[in-house]
Amino acid sequence: MPPYQPSADWQFDVPTTGSKQLRPTARSFESLAHQGYGFEAAIADLVDNSIDAGARSVVVSFLRDTGDRGGRDRLVGLLVIDDGQGMDEAGLDTAMTVGGRETYAPGALGHFGAGLKAASLSHADALTVISRTKRSPSAGRRWLTARAQTDFTCDIVDAAYCQSLVDRYDGIIGWHGTIVRWDQVRTFDTITAGQTDRYLDDAIERLETHLGLHLHRFLAREGFHIDIVVEDVHTREELDHRGVEPIDPFGYRIPGRPGYPRTYTAPVEGVGDVGLTAHIWPPKSPLVAYRGIGPLAERQGFYLYRNDRLVQAGGWNDTRSAEGHLALARIAVDLPPEPNDVFSLTVKKDGVQVTPAFARGLEQAADPADGHTFTEYVREAETTYRDAAKRRTEVKRTAVIPPGKGIDPKLKRTLRDELPQLDGHDPIAFSWARLDVPAGVDPAELLFTIDHKERRVVLNKDYRHAFNGGRRGGSNDAPVLKSLLYLMLNEIFQKERVWANQTDKVALWNSVLVTAVRAELDRADD
């Protein structure tokens, strides 16, 4: 290369005299752990990896030490377990290397090769991944933040332990699968004494909503499911178990305006034609898919999907400002599968940056069938909202305390769709147990008792078989009984104390229900 000769002309290429390698320092791990991942987004990123691995079952397990063996009640870790194709030792090395994955299969949810590490280390100081394939034995790798920040040292997990952990979850993994283990989870260490149940209720509720929304297209498919469990780390008993239900942000029953949804085509320079499926929600909808996924002002606008994964839930991407009159407007957009310079996905998959080319495309967007424009759609969405605001015929239902543990997720979703929820109240939980009753009271005469202070309905374990048809009961069993009791008892739980007339109601309901259960059992014996 000839030496650079000074010139008054502009240098279109920067002159160089050689090159050298500047490897990242171990401190780059510190920046990796401060990407700003929220807890729910971090778990969703791990589930993305499970989906890319072909998993049909994914379990998020909170590991709890209840304190029954000494010590205090606390959360000691978290696992994400799947039955995907798994990884051999070489695959594990690639997965645990920052940016190690250079290519992804068409349709994959992975994008940058950093999600597993960044998502995990944003919340835990120890990340362990254990996996097995059909053709390779169980193997594992572990990152400890403290060591990684020193010299990029990754631990090789003992093979015998890898196999023992896989065996512990053989009901999920079978011949192949992966376990991601978080230890020293920083949020868990902040839970104060006596607040573990409250933390879990809040955390699982948020996680259910996030996964149900962002992965709703996958959850709606036959044969794929995500479960969230709380597991006693010593006994392995499931203390809670909830199946994640899809939350379709376009899941209304009847559109808010005739003629919708409509599909528009936007010519976007640098990408080509982009399809926009525009919806107008029915006004004043009580559905969780409308009201239960965040503030309405933030949930209007574009819902952007990449390979069927929701990567942005609302927002106008600087094409207009959010306003109350557009609360019914939601538009589904499937991003082009090919890399492009118009749509840029954030590392955390929680938003998309767009160039002005998208806004120019919206100005020309129209329905190919009749020429109806996207601008007219926005105007009609606003008109639908304004017209509904003028009407005063809405029937308002009484707000209730939310349903909690022990209620089937589908039933819980319906209850939240149909009834407004009281904010700031601990949910009503259901459990089966031997009834703790005063001396002289026959527990056989009671189907349930209530713990008013703890917001809990305790069902008589001796009658459980009457509601399960001979099947083994689960934590969310007997949905008909629990839904009826939830509706009947909600008002009582809202009172500061239980008065005599309410105690009499509980006695009446017990008398009638126990008689009904015995009649049902007698019929079964005939």
Answer for the pair 81, 179: CB distance below 8 angstroms, yes or no.
yes
CA 513/CA 87 separation, integer angstroms: 53
Work out how many domains the chain is built from and give that number.
3
Instruction: Identify the weakest region by mean pLDDT among 360-364, 455-459, 472-476.
Output: 472-476
Please check whether residues 216 and 140 belong to one and the same domain: yes
Please check whether residues 30 and 156 belong to one and the same domain: yes
pLDDT score recorded for residue 325: 94
Please check whether residues 199 and 274 belong to one and the same domain: no
Q: pTM for the complete prediction?
A: 0.82
Which residues neighbour 86 within 8 Å (Cβ) at sequence distance 6 or greater? 53, 131, 132, 133, 134, 136, 176, 177, 178
Domain for residue 398, yes or no? no
Please check whether residues 276 and 223 belong to one and the same domain: no
State which of 186, 215, 244 marks the end of a domain: 244
CA 311/CA 328 separation, integer angstroms: 20
CATH number of the domain within which 134 lies: 3.30.565
* Residue of 495, 269, 257, 471 whose CA lies nearest to 360: 269
Sheet holding 124-132, edge to edge: 155-156, 139-144, 124-132, 177-185, 74-82, 57-65, 225-232, 238-243
* Residue of 404, 396, 449 whose CA lies nearest to 425: 404
Answer for the pair 412, 308: CB distance below 8 angstroms, yes or no.
no
Answer for the pair 207, 39: CB distance below 8 angstroms, yes or no.
yes
Per the prediction, the chain carries an average pLDDT of 89
pLDDT score recorded for residue 27: 65
Range 469-494 average pLDDT: 87
pLDDT score recorded for residue 111: 56
Residue 394 pLDDT grade (very low, low, confident, very high; cuts 50, 70, 90): low
Domain for residue 256, yes or no? no
How much of the chain exceeds pLDDT 70, in percent? Answer: 93
Please check whether residues 30 and 170 belong to one and the same domain: yes
H or E element, residue 264: strand 262-268
Please check whether residues 105 and 186 belong to one and the same domain: yes
Please check whether residues 366 and 419 belong to one and the same domain: no
Please check whether residues 375 and 423 belong to one and the same domain: no
Tell me the pLDDT tens digit for each residue of 252-291. Answer: 999 999 999 999 999 999 999 999 999 999 998 888 899 8
Backbone angles phi, psi at 61, to 5 degrees: -120, 120
- With H, G, I as helix, E, B as strand and everything else as coil, classify residue 515: helix
Domain for residue 288, yes or no? yes
Tell me the pLDDT tens digit for each residue of 398-430. Answer: 889 999 888 888 788 788 888 888 887 889 999
How much of the chain exceeds pLDDT 90, in percent? Answer: 61
Domain for residue 333, yes or no? yes
pLDDT score recorded for residue 386: 93
**Alpha helices by DSSP H, 106-195:** 115-121, 145-151, 159-168, 170-173
pLDDT score recorded for residue 34: 67
Tell me the pLDDT tens digit for each residue of 109-166. Answer: 765 556 788 889 889 999 999 999 999 999 999 988 877 767 777 899 999 999 999 9
State which of 214, 244, 274 marks the end of a domain: 244
Please check whether residues 145 and 213 belong to one and the same domain: yes
Q: Is the pLDDT of residue 228 over 60?
A: yes
Pick left, alpha or beta for residue 18 (phi over 0 → left; psi -120 to 50 → alpha; otherwise beta): left
Please check whether residues 88 and 174 belong to one and the same domain: yes
Domain for residue 8, yes or no? no
Domain for residue 395, yes or no? no
Tell me the pLDDT tens digit for each residue of 331-346. Answer: 999 998 888 899 988 8
Q: Is the pLDDT of residue 35 over 90?
A: no
Please check whether residues 151 and 222 belong to one and the same domain: yes
CA 314/CA 317 separation, integer angstroms: 9
Domain for residue 404, yes or no? no
Tell me the pLDDT tens digit for each residue of 358-376. Answer: 999 999 999 999 999 999 9
pLDDT score recorded for residue 350: 77
Record the tokens describing residue 342, joined without a space. 């118009």
Structural domain range at position 431: 409-525
H or E element, residue 215: none
State which of 213, 244, 275 marks the end of a domain: 244
Tell me the pLDDT tens digit for each residue of 81-114. Answer: 999 999 999 999 999 887 655 555 666 776 555 6
CA 288/CA 285 separation, integer angstroms: 9
* Residue of 130, 192, 197 whose CA lies nearest to 456: 197
Q: Tell which wins on pLDDT, 111 or 173.
A: 173
Please check whether residues 184 and 316 belong to one and the same domain: no
Domain for residue 422, yes or no? yes
